[in-house]
Structure formats: structure tokens, C-alpha cells
Structure 1
Amino acid sequence: MPRFLSMIRVNENEIPTDEFPEDFNERMGKLLEEITKAGVMLDTAGLLPSSEGTRVTWSGGKLSYTDGPFTETKEVIGGYALMQCKDKAEALEWAKRFLEIHPEEWTVTCEVRQIMEG
């Protein structure tokens, strides 16, 4: 079965860290339990803020390092999920269900990409 990487993109400046809906964690926990029991979820995690990250760039034969936060970037990857699904349609269905748990006033993007095998 193919594997898919789901990357969650957020604007860190627009996500309130202390104003999650009351039942958000419960609903998210139920979805993660369901996707795990279905044998789809291989790994998932949120990421620390970009202020704690570093970008390493290779250009012109030289490396450069840029410490976060990355002010020139509107969206950053805030988390990921590694899933094994029967096809892309199934991966997109799980991504849809994940996004629908978030508050309507948030903008959260989920980029789903199949992993190139062997």
C-alpha cells in the first residue's frame, strides 16, 4: 500500500495558542485513535514554533543557516502525519476529517503527497 505524507501548514501569527475550543482535544484524540485503529497512521506529531528552527540552504556551492522565526514566510509546517492508505482518495478523506476538527475561523492547509517508493 502506498504511503502519504500529510504536512499541516499554518500561519503561526494567526493561531491562538490558548483559545482552543473546549472539545477540540477530545475530538482530535478520537480521530487519531480511529485512524490508528484503522491501520492507516504510521506516525504523527506537531512541530515546535519556527522560532526554534533553523533553515539550512545549499546555494552556489555554499551552505547558509537561518535561525527562525522566518518572518518572510507566511505559512510554516506546523505538524505532519505519515499514513499508509489504499490510495490518494483515502489519504485526502483523512486529511479532510482532520481539518474539519479545527475552528471555522482558522486557516489551516493540509498538503498531501505520496511518498516515492523504491
Structure 2
Amino acid sequence: MRFMIIVKASADSEAGIMPPESLFAEMAAYHEQLAKAGVLLDASGLQPTSKGWRIRYADGKRQVIDGPFSESKELVAGYTIIQVRSRDEALEWSRRFPAPHGKDVEAEIEVRPLYELEDFDQSPAIERFRAMGVGSEQKQ
């Protein structure tokens, strides 16, 4: 089972303010533990929304909306993707995730399972994804 640990943005992360070295060290130690356990698939921080854009779909048209976006508490600042055997194992790993904006800063992470191709009915479109090698668990 794959899970995404989603780090919510803060005003500082949206301003492009880098966390202190001590937080980088704590995050590195945590991710090294994930890697040693063989459950780490990917992890990265995201640049501020001021450097990104959204595509809005309405009335059969697409509209590009440049960042920045408001409501930083609803934005994503980074993620970690893990592959574990169960929801309980994912919960245990997520409980150990370092405070994402520092020990004394109120923050929140969100953890959600990723869909696997096996979750969908078989169809030609699903087989096309399978042929690309995406959307499916890697064997541990």
C-alpha cells in the first residue's frame, strides 16, 4: 500500500523562507529511517505557489491562473510517499514525522492512501496505465 504524507504550507514556506538547518537535519534523519526500512518511495519540498500556476476547467475551456494562491493552510509545501504493508504501519510512520515547520510552530500533515490500478475495474484505459508502469505498487 502506498501512502502520501502531505505537508501543509505555512506563511513562511509560501514566502520562500527556507527552514533552519536543524529542521533539515531532523527531516533527513527521518527520511533515512524510511529508506533503511525500505519504505521510502519519494520525498520533496515544493516551491512557493508564486512560482506555479493552476489550470481551471469550466464550460469546456481551460484557463491558466498564475500563483500565488491564498489560504496557505490549504496549500501543499511538500510530500513523502511511502510503501508499507498496512494502514497501521503508515500510521506508525506518520506519527514519527518531524514537526514540519519546527517544534514550536503549529502545523499539520495529512496522510492519504494512493489509488492502485488494482482498485479499478479492468479496462483498456487501465491497461494503458499498467503498460506505462504507473499507478501500481512496486513489490517490496
TM over 0.5: yes
For 1:24-63, what aligned pairs fall within 5 Å after superposition?
24-63=23-62
Unmatched runs of 5 consecutive residues or more in structure 1: none
Distance change >3 Å, CA 55–CA 46, structure 1 → 2: same
In structure 2, C-alpha distance between the alignment counterparts of 1:68 and 1:46, rounded to whole Å: 17
How far off is 1:18 after superposition? 5.2
1:84 aligns with 2:83: yes
Per-residue CA distance 1:66-108 (angstroms, 9 max, x = gap): 111012x232100111110111222122222113465233232
1:95 aligns with 2:98: no
In structure 2, C-alpha distance between the alignment counterparts of 1:29 and 1:35, rounded to whole Å: 10
- 3-state SS of paired residue (2:96): helix
Are the aligned partners of 1:10 and 1:107 in contact in 2 as well (CA < 8 Å)?
A: no
**Structure whose residues are more often strand by fraction:** 1
Are the aligned partners of 2:42 and 2:80 in contact in 1 as well (CA < 8 Å)?
A: yes
Unmatched runs of 5 consecutive residues or more in structure 2: 118-140
- 3-state SS of paired residue (1:105): coil
Q: Return structure 1 stretches of 4+ with deviation > 4 angstroms.
A: none
Taking structure 1 as the reference length, what is the TM-score of the superposition? 0.82
In structure 1, C-alpha distance between the alignment counterparts of 2:92 and 2:101, rounded to whole Å: 15
In structure 2, C-alpha distance between the alignment counterparts of 1:14 and 1:105, rounded to whole Å: 14
- Alpha-carbon RMSD: 2.1
Matched length: 114
Percent identity, aligned pairs only, is 33
- 3-state SS of paired residue (1:7): strand
In structure 2, C-alpha distance between the alignment counterparts of 1:33 and 1:110, rounded to whole Å: 19
Q: Which has the higher contact order (CA 8 A, sep 6+)?
A: 1
**Structure whose residues are more often helix by fraction:** 2
Other-structure match for 2:66: 67
Taking structure 2 as the reference length, what is the TM-score of the superposition? 0.71
Per-residue CA distance 1:25-82 (angstroms, 9 max, x = gap): 22221111111110111000001111001011112211111111012x2321001111
In structure 2, C-alpha distance between the alignment counterparts of 1:61 and 1:78, rounded to whole Å: 30
